[in-house]
Structure 1
Amino acid sequence: MVNKVFFLAVLIGVPLSVIGSLMHWSPVLLFIIYCLTIIALASYMGRATESLAVVAGPQIGGLLNATFGNAVELIISIFALKEGLVEVVLASLTGSVLGNLLLVAGLSFFVGGLKYKRQAFNVYDARHNAGLLIFAVIVAFVIPEVFSIEMTEGETLTLSIGVSIILIALYLAALFFRLVTHRGVYVHKSDTAEEHEEAEWGKGKALIILGAATVAVAYVSENLVHTFEVVAERFGWSELFIGVIIVAIVGNAAEHASAIIMAYKNKMNVAVEIAVGSTLQIALFVAPVLVLVSLMFPTTMPLVFTLPELIAMIASVLLMIIISNDGDTNWFEGATLLAAYVIMGIGFYLL
């Protein structure tokens, strides 16, 4: 039933997106059409990556899902940078961290916990990810903010470029560590407990759907960016709220759906890998790539967040580490993460 709804949304949404942009419909109407279309397209990207990942295991499966899910946000952010909307891009990165750690993980733990009393996942991966989360958010994001107080804009940008290169190098090293040198070394009993699942689509069909959905998302995302200013003015939203809440939820729709479904099926290794792995990819790869890409545009983007964004991200990381570090979860822990997300959402709305 849900798949039919998404199919109809794509079938109707993509043509309407093209027609609406050519005929210059109301920006508010187009904003709604674009968001719904991107969410529907993201569902196809999620299903395609899940099909490709069935034979690859939870780690690679979660990595594939997070990568193509984050591709949506990366595309939206590049077009936003092209328009000079640096604040929206930084806010969307913040929203991705909050959304993945609090909303996606929270909903996954909550929905899965309603069906199962306890759900276990790889505790070794959780502890490994905890160190990377602390480094990426608390070290790499805070340092540019603190040092920029005593620096010029040029020096701040230079520091951001240096930090970005180091983050990308560490992310590639982390992939090499987990998928090559130490693949299978830290095995948890929950790794072998997950049932074998048949792929929904064959490899060829999944690749075609994935490619087509990515191209469509790129087109719709470029048009979506042009509606931000009008929508913000119409509803009284700040660029910060649009980035933290709206863009982050739309851009990460694929991971949201996939992680919750995996948790409901008691495949917590995949669910946690999607939520936490996506956060790490945003912090260690997407954010620094956007800093480097911004050098090609008139308005550059230093890796400097506002104080509320930094505090919200640090609080999210610490809460997620405390809850997930034992490799075991339940619905109440999910509710705790969701409560934190709602509190921060209210704060960003009123800010």
Structure 2
Amino acid sequence: MTNKVFMVLAFAGVPLSVIGTLMHWSNILLFVIYCITIIALASYMGRATESLAIVTGPRIGGLLNATFGNAVELIISIFALKAGLISVVLASLTGSVLGNLLLVAGLSFFVGGVKYKTQSFNVYDARHNSGLLMFAVIVAFVIPEVFSMTMDEAETITFSIGISVILIALYLAALFFKLVTHRGVYQSKEDDRSSHEEETPEWSKGKAIAVLAISTIAVAYVSENLVHTFEEVGEAFGWTELFIGVVIVAIVGNAAEHASAIIMAYKNKMDIAVEIAVGSTLQVAMFVAPVLVLLSLLFPAAMPLVFTLPELIAMVTAVLLMIVIGNDGETNWFEGATLLAAYVIMGIGFYLL
């Protein structure tokens, strides 16, 4: 039933987006149409990556889901950079970290915990990811903020470029570590079960890849137009660029991962659910953010890797909370509720700023 609804929204939303753009409909109406269309297209991307995950296994499947989920946000952010909305881009990166660690993980833990008393996932992956989260958010994001206080604009950009190159290199090294040199060293329960349980993918490998390609192209078109509605929508609803970036863009841009992680948790596939939530956060912090810094050099205004104090404190808090809750390799509904409560508190704070 849900799939049919998303199918209708996607097949109706794309033509309406094109017609509305050409006929210059109200930006507020177009904003709603664009957001619904992106979420519907993201659902197709989620289903396609879920099909590929069955073939490739939980680690690569989670990585694929996180990658294509973040592709939506990356596309939106590139067009926002092109439009000079640097604060919106930085805010959307903040929102992505908070959304993945608190909203996505929180909903996954809560929904899965309602069905099962406790759920477990690979504790070795959890501890490995904890170290990377500490580095990516607390070291690579906080250090530029501190050092930039005594730097001019040009020095800050140069420093941001250096950090971005290091982050990308370390992220690629982390993938090489997990998928090549230490693949299978820290075996998960889910990997063991996969050898005994066979699940049929919804789509074939070829169809899944084709759906991903078409959906990504459609999302790119809709996202470019979505960016141009931010200013008028913000004025109409009293939303700041910070709130639009942290909450609206982050939720719309990560819709595919949100849905997929929750579905995986409901099916008690916590390795994939956690890989989507935490793996996506790492990808945003260590790959998407530095790539955007480097891409911004092609536009009139370069983007420094410097966040506001509320953004930094919120991200650091989310990381520490996730590490404390997830480091034992077990979850329950109350831990999910705790993460969700933290997300709501931060959302209210960003709305009132």
| Bin for the TM-score computed over the shorter chain | over 0.9
The aligned runs of 1:103-118 (5 Å cut-off) are: 103-118=103-118
Cα distance, 1:189 vs. partner?
3.0
The answer for the alignment partner of 1:215 in structure 2 is 217
* Offset of residue 190 of structure 1: 4.2
Listed as ranges, the matches of 1:140-159 within 5 Å are 140-159=140-159
3-state SS of paired residue (1:24): coil
Structure-to-structure mapping, 1:147-296, within 5 angstroms: 147-193=147-193, 195-296=197-298
2:14 paired residue number: 14
**What is the rounded CA distance, in whole Å, between the counterparts of 1:34 and 1:192 in structure 2?**
42
One-letter code aligned to 1:60:
I
Residues 54-73 of structure 1 mapped to structure 2, 5 A cutoff = 54-73=54-73
In 1, the alpha carbon distance for the partners of 2:346 and 2:12 equals 34
Residue by residue over 1:276-326, the C-alpha shift from the partner in whole angstroms, topping out at 9 and shown as x without a partner, is: 000000000000000000000001100000000000000000000000000
1:12-161 matches, within 5 Å, as 12-161=12-161
Q: How many angstroms does 1:203 deviate by?
A: 1.0
Report the count of equivalent residues: 351
Tell me how far apart the structure 2 counterparts of residues 254 and 93 of structure 1 sit (CA, whole Å).
Answer: 16
* Corresponding position: 1:316 with 2:318: yes
Q: CA deviation at 1:45?
A: 0.5
* 1:136 aligned counterpart, secondary structure: helix
CA–CA separation in structure 1 for the residues paired with 2:155 and 2:128: 33
Matches of 2:287 and 2:223, distance apart in 1:
20
C-alpha deviation, 1:130, in angstroms: 0.0
* CA distance, structure 1, for counterparts of residue 198 and residue 320 of structure 2: 34
Question: Is 2:58–2:190's contact at 8 Å kept on the other side of the alignment?
Answer: no
Displacement of 1:52 after TM fit?
A: 1.4
User: Structure 2 counterpart of 1:189, which letter?
Assistant: K
Q: Is the CA contact (8 Å cut-off) linking 1:120 and 1:190 kept in structure 2?
A: no
What is the CA RMSD across the aligned residues, in angstroms?
A: 0.7
**TM-score for the superposition, normalised by structure 2:** 0.99
Q: Which amino acid aligns with 1:86?
A: I
* Structure 2 residues without counterparts, runs of 5 or longer: none
Identity %: 81
**What is the TM-score of this pair, normalised by structure 1?**
0.99
1:8 match: secondary structure = helix
1:192 CA displacement? 1.8
Displacement of 1:32 in angstroms is 0.2
SS of the equivalent of 2:150 reads coil
How far apart in 2 are the matches of 1:166 and 1:57?
Answer: 29
Q: Is the 8 A contact 2:62 2:272 kept in 1?
A: yes
Cα distance in 1 between the residues matched to 2:324 and 2:190:
20
